[in-house]
Chains A and B, each alone.
Chain A
Amino acid sequence: MLTLEIDGKPVEVEDGATVMDAANKLGIYIPHFCYHKKLSIAANCRMCLVEVERAPKPLPACATPATNGMKVRTHSRKAITAQKGVMEFLLINHPLDCPICDQGGECQLQDLAVGYGQSAHRFAEAKRVVADKDLGPLIDTFMTRCINCTRCVRFLAEIGGFQELGQAFRGEHAEILPFLGQTVHSEISGNVIDLCPVGALTSKPFLYRARTWELTRRRSISPHDAWGSNLIVQSKHDTVKRVLPLEFEAINECWLSDRDRFAYEGLNASDRLTRPMVKTDGRWVEVAWQTALEVAANRLASVAEENGDDALAFLAHPMSTVEELYLLKALGAAFGAAVDTRIRQRDARADLARGKVAWLNGSITEIVESDGHWFLGADVRRELPLMAVRLRAAAKAGARIVRWDDSDDDWRIPGVDPHKLTAPAMLVALVHFAKHLGVTLPDWAVGLVQQPSPLSAAEFDALSAALRGAQKRRIWLGRPLRAHPNAAEFEWLAEAIAGALGAKLGWLVDGANAVGAAVVGAQATQTAHQLASAGKAGYLLVNLEPEDFAAPDAVADSFARARTVVALTPYASESLKAAADVLLPIAPFTETSGTLVNIEGRLQSFTAVVRPREMTRPGWKVLAALTAMRTGRSVAYTASDAVRDAALPQGWRTQLAQHGLTAIAPAPTLHASAIPAFDRVTLYQGDMIVRRSASLQATDDAKAERGATIPSEEAAA
């Protein structure tokens, strides 16, 4: 520990801390632009110059190591003179366009110029003009405003894992740009908008939509993946205008994925369902809520009565809240319907055999502490963009990371050791690896072990050495693997190998509330995907469209054949209108309260940000009302908190799994030739809100994803 003094106040800091760290600890603000606690030190803006006793020149607080006995003055005449001098240089070429700049009101340069700028300017020359750059559909540029702090460059290289922006040319001609003709493709690129201390990089979807001081801000939780990123949702006149990260070190730090940041556009999509609708004789008519509820309840009841057991399936998107799913389960019980949320899983055996709930099996922060990682059938950047950020930090700290999957995609994690394996090849390789480690193989694996191993014994040795060389070893089961029809066999092998290597299994779950869904028991003996494709006589869908399922065409076909499909949904899409016969408008996450349990088992509740659109009602209330109609007993919840408390009684965390499954029944002998390929994970097609974000859909990633799903249509046409 070191002791130093800043502005006369003593402070103790760790060895290696900087003057800036020490000042932060004391709560003393030192003006700065290029410094950011999560990025490498550049010391280029020179705004944080402070006076250090016995130093002949003012020193940058961000880069100057604290030393014992150091005496720092942040507001002495020498320091202020230096800071004001720097401010003048920053302003001479900066345009005076604050009134039309989107950063106005939240601009570090504007704020500091008030404190450090001069009222008169001495710069009589023409100001520099820098050409704007095309960074894609998410980030707008006004490069003349750029002060070359290089935060964006460092962010993309260090946190994003690939340097997509650079500072080209030199001196006064230096400018920030992507490589000629390219845009930015990072799945977390929007963070550069927050990082930019001026209005050079701004949000394209938000551009000129509102002034920041007019916005109401509320905390919320992202429903677009299982990470549980904390959000600040900003609105004006009951319309969501912008989403920013709410800093939460243990989850999203100060970052957001582009998905979480820009999906909000979907909330304001033109096909929002705002009134209940019933299809009668092939025609959609708007009806009163009471009528709609009665029609829905009656149609479901008649299916239950006329088509017998197993006639109904109530399915929900795993982004649905704990409250919605708990009440959906109650509704399912009332109708004798199967309830499930595993819309992209093709195998129910793994969850059944394990019994306990799949989750991260540890905290998010443990990821960086683990120094040996082996990913099986994962697509980390698309599944959980912020997990990739944690892995980059782990890699930087020296962690070994091995991936087995069937993709060529660059994870943008330095030092990752990739092995490209198709699903059957991977299963064969795992069987051989297990055998190599002395695991007794079960009967179902006999056919697989007769296949030649895709990896050599030396490669197996290298892999086990890499994992055994680590202190904390993790084996991660990715979404493609978990969605696979042989997920159970994959997990059995992974658990057996984990046991042999002393590693801990972790599940990359699919859906913001996938863990919560399993905990409240919204799981049937078949997955939602299986139930949806099974041609049931009646369905009730919550926050779902046919596009959400693993096989959209088969599911749409199944829905078309059903006697009734009741959809609780914020949107009336054409696909849903074709599939359903009752549409009940329920609130998206910004218009109601609710709870999500994230991948690390953290329960996070949120409240409404804006009022529900027109006749839209909270989903949990609609489900409660339907249950009441069916059972004839009123459901006594007045607030979502009460539902949550009923849904998650004390001790619910004991349901979380510590280990993978250890027995599968029944398990016929497998042959590699019968094992299908892994499904692809999409970045921007995963839920109905994301699919409606025009900006996200304009990204190259989304275009490629839609292109990949379109060929069947093209072939038909």
Chain B
Amino acid sequence: MSTLKLGQMILKDCDESRWRLADYEARGGYQVLRRILTENWSQERVIEEVKTSALRGRGGAGFPTGLKWSFMPRQFPGEKYVVCNSDEGEPGTFKDRDILRYNPHSVIEGMIIAGYAMGASCGYNYIHGEIFEVYERFEEALEEARRAGYLGENILGSGFHFELYAHHGYGAYICGEETALLESIEGKKGQPRFKPPFPASYGLYGKPTTINNTETFASVPFLLAMGGEQFLHLGKPNNGGMKIFSVSGHVNRPGNYEIPMGTPFSELLELAGGVRGGRKLKAVIPGGSSAPVVPGDVMMECTMDYDSIAQAGSMLGSGAVIVMDETTCMVKALERLSYFYYEESCGQCTPCREGTGWLYRIVHRIEHGQGRVEDLELLESATSNIMGRTICALGDAASMPVQSFIKHFRDEFLYHIEHKRCLVPPEVQWAGSDIYVEA
């Protein structure tokens, strides 16, 4: 069953039955790699093209990819690593799963090219444990690529060596944080490292390492095929290219939509079939669960790119769009998200280990009619004591939903505290969620 609704680049013309090497090659796959190797491109040329394209990291942070690649000490004599972050576990995000199951070779080609550009001869793709079938398929795809001579010694007779392996997670959201991911590959708990040093100087096994998201790597062959300039023009300045948006929640057709950056949100909502049951849009989390929530009316004015969403006070993040309709209890929604961060905190640093449980318990109390008037102030104060005080961004990720939910839906929280019940009438509450009654 495909969740793919629209593919214009990475997901174009691919589905469950067309993921194999032959299919990818029929779509022009591995041509860019062949060109780079036979024409003996310089590493700088590859990186320059990526810079020109304004491709930004698709994992959530949006860091310019070309710039990141240029940080690698290419002349460093020892081993260097290229690592793909397919540990997709940010609630609302499900694009990497589709890329890996429908077009795994685009990721493989992108990683080989990245290895070439950064002088690395070994790579790992870290795949979310919960999509184990996708991990197994990726292993198959790797085997195809090895047999075809795209991986291993002396690739396509160029003298360039690159080996690529798959590593699976096994249930830890935090491993999506790049240094936690490296720890995990090293066979440890996925606890993020303090930076500096950054992975570019001290990464996997202490060696220079570049980590990019699945979609970022998958975009590379396409952007090089069309040229950086053209890729940039697909989107907006500073927001180049196509982007896959994962739309979930109260829409008629949840799924992945690969559209140009800068497409109006209203168009995306329409592509996804509009709000389920024709209900009123209440709120949208536009970039995965860690991104601040945006009220529906504000969201309807936004375009889907880094800058526009930032102006609306949130983040494009991984491009995961969680849509909530008028039947949603915002306190209950926040309670579930807070539970998630409490459950997934790695336990390493104090503010997050102790703070996420505290946040969850306060929100839980409010939701269950035991809120106190001072709780909202306490939540604001506790989140400000977590934000910016932790080793990684999970502390911030746990705090931003709390702060934004209270900011935009304060009345609902106060109503819960004062009346010990929800502002949304019980008979309709959560009604939009039972798709199988409605649809």
Contacts and interface: CB of A to CB of B under 8 A. Distances in A.
Query: A and B: direct contact (Cβ < 8 Å)?
Result: yes
Interface of A: 41-47, 49, 56-58, 60, 63, 65, 82, 85-86, 88-90, 92-93, 122-125, 147-148, 167, 169-174
Interface of B: 172, 174, 189, 194, 196, 342-351, 353-358, 361-362, 372, 378, 381, 384-385, 388-391
Counting from the closest, the 6 A-B pairs by CB-CB distance are A174-B347, A85-B385, A171-B345, A57-B388, A89-B354, A172-B357
Given A46-B350, A148-B353, A172-B345, A92 B358 contact: yes
Contacts of B189: 167, 170
Contacts of A49: 389
Contacts of B391: 43-44
B358 A123 contact: yes
Contact of A90 (B344, B347, B348, B354): B354
Given A60-B194, A148-B347, A167-B347, A174 B353 contact: yes
A45 B350 contact: yes
A41 B350 contact: no
A124 B353 CA distance: 17
Contacts of B347: 148, 167, 169-174
B353 A171 contact: yes
Contact of A125 (B345, B350, B361): B361
28 contacts: A46-B351, A56-B388, A58-B389, A60-B194, A85-B389, A86-B350, A88-B385, A89-B350, A89-B353, A89-B358, A125-B358, A125-B362, A147-B350, A148-B347, A148-B348, A148-B353, A167-B347, A170-B347, A171-B343, A171-B344, A171-B346, A171-B347, A171-B353, A171-B356, A171-B357, A172-B342, A172-B345, A172-B347
A43 B349 contact: yes
A46 B388 contact: no
Nearest to A125: B361
Given A44-B391, A171-B343, A174-B353, 9 more contacts: A47-B350, A65-B196, A85-B351, A92-B358, A122-B381, A147-B350, A148-B350, A171-B357, A173-B347
Contacts of A122: 378, 381
A88 B381 CA distance: 11
A17 to B, nearest CB: 14
Contacts of B174: 170
Contact of A89 (B351, B361, B388): B351
Contacts of B342: 171-172
B418 to A, nearest CB: 18
A34 B343 CA distance: 23
B328 to A, nearest CB: 26
B383 to A, nearest CB: 11
Contacts of A60: 194
A167 B372 CA distance: 35
B345 A90 contact: no
B353 A86 contact: no
A46 B342 CA distance: 18
B46 to A, nearest CB: 31
Given A45-B349, A46-B349, A58 B388 contact: yes
A327 B41 CA distance: 86
Given A60-B194, A92-B358, A172 B353 contact: yes
Contacts of B389: 46, 49, 57-58, 82, 85-86
B350 A170 contact: no
Given A46-B350, A86-B351, A125-B361, A172 B388 contact: no
B261 to A, nearest CB: 27
B353 A92 contact: no
A24 B313 CA distance: 41
Contacts of B384: 85
Nearest to B174: A170
A82 B358 CA distance: 18
Q: Which residue, of A47, A56, A124, A170, has the highest number of chain B Cβ atoms within 10 A?
A: A170
A38 B362 CA distance: 39
Contacts of B345: 170-172
Contacts of A88: 385
Interface centre among B357, B361, B362 (most CB of A within 10 A): B357
A338 B389 CA distance: 70
A75 B331 CA distance: 38
Nearest to A82: B389
B394 to A, nearest CB: 10
Contacts of B356: 171-172
B205 to A, nearest CB: 15
B345 to A, nearest CB: 4
B357 A44 contact: no
A89 B355 CA distance: 6
A127 to B, nearest CB: 11
Nearest to B354: A89
A85 B381 CA distance: 9
B372 to A, nearest CB: 8
A15 to B, nearest CB: 14
A616 to B, nearest CB: 51
A63 B350 contact: no
Contact of B346 (A86, A90, A170): A170
Contacts of A167: 189, 347
A112 to B, nearest CB: 13
Contacts of A58: 388-389
A496 B342 CA distance: 65
Nearest to B377: A122
A63 B351 contact: no
A662 B57 CA distance: 71
A558 to B, nearest CB: 57
A89 B357 CA distance: 11
B354 A44 contact: no
B111 to A, nearest CB: 29
A711 to B, nearest CB: 42
B172 A63 contact: no
A56 to B, nearest CB: 7
Contact of A43 (B194, B354, B378, B388): B194
A450 B194 CA distance: 60
Contacts of B343: 171
Nearest to A94: B354
B364 to A, nearest CB: 9
Nearest to B343: A171
A46 B194 CA distance: 11
Contacts of A174: 346-348, 353
A44 B348 contact: yes
B13 to A, nearest CB: 41
Contacts of B357: 171-172
Contacts of B355: 89
A46 B387 CA distance: 12
Chain B CB within 10 Å — which of A41, A49, A56, A122 has the most? A122
A287 B121 CA distance: 85
Contacts of B358: 89, 92, 123, 125
A85 B390 CA distance: 12
A513 B59 CA distance: 65
A167 B349 CA distance: 12
Nearest to A174: B347
Nearest to A92: B354
